[in-house]
Structure 1
Amino acid sequence: MNLEARKIEFVKEFLKLQSEEAISRLENILRKEKNASYERQLEPMTQDELNQRIDQSESDFENDKFKTSSELLAKYK
């Protein structure tokens, strides 16, 4: 059975579930799998990339290219 057929079969069985507890457990498994998948895609920054970001941030600050926390908070009130 290919992956698409397995997914369809899983969804059919899922829709038949009547147990809220079973649905909650499956939701937790799905959430954990999505988080693990996302984390596997993350790549750490190299030392050079980090230093470039720091340099850019310092340059932006010196050239008044920033917003204060008060400005950011006011934007979202």
Structure 2
Amino acid sequence: MDIQSTKIELVKAILAIENTEFIQKVADFINKEKVDFWNELSAAEQNEIKKGIKELNQGKRVSYDSFLKKIS
């Protein structure tokens, strides 16, 4: 059975279930499986983002126009 057929069979099975507790467990499981992009970043990337947020919170900002002038 290919993946699309398996998905369809799963949806059919879920639609046939009336047990709300089971449905909630399935929903919780699916939500836990969703990938959070933050966890996919390397430690170095996470640190750079945290550093940037810290600098923004300290008022260290560069306007978009100023940035464009620096890179062109």
Report the TM-score, using the length of structure 2 for normalisation.
0.57
How many pairs were matched up? 58
Gaps of 5+ in 1: 66-77
Structure 1 residues 63 and 42, CA gap change in structure 2 (3 angstroms): closer
Letter in 2 for 1:44: S
Gaps of 5+ in 2: 64-72
- What's the secondary structure of 2:30's corresponding residue? helix
Letter in 2 for 1:16: A
**1:22 Cα shift?**
0.5
Report the TM-score, using the length of structure 1 for normalisation.
0.54
Equivalence map 1:35-54=2 (5 Å): 37-39=35-37, 42-44=40-42, 46=44, 50=48, 54=52
**Which of structure 1's runs of 4+ aligned residues deviate more than 4 A?**
62-65
CA offsets, 1:24-75, max 9 Å, x none?
10011001111xx33586212537x82xx65xx47xx46685xxxxxxxxxx
RMSD across aligned positions (CA): 3.5
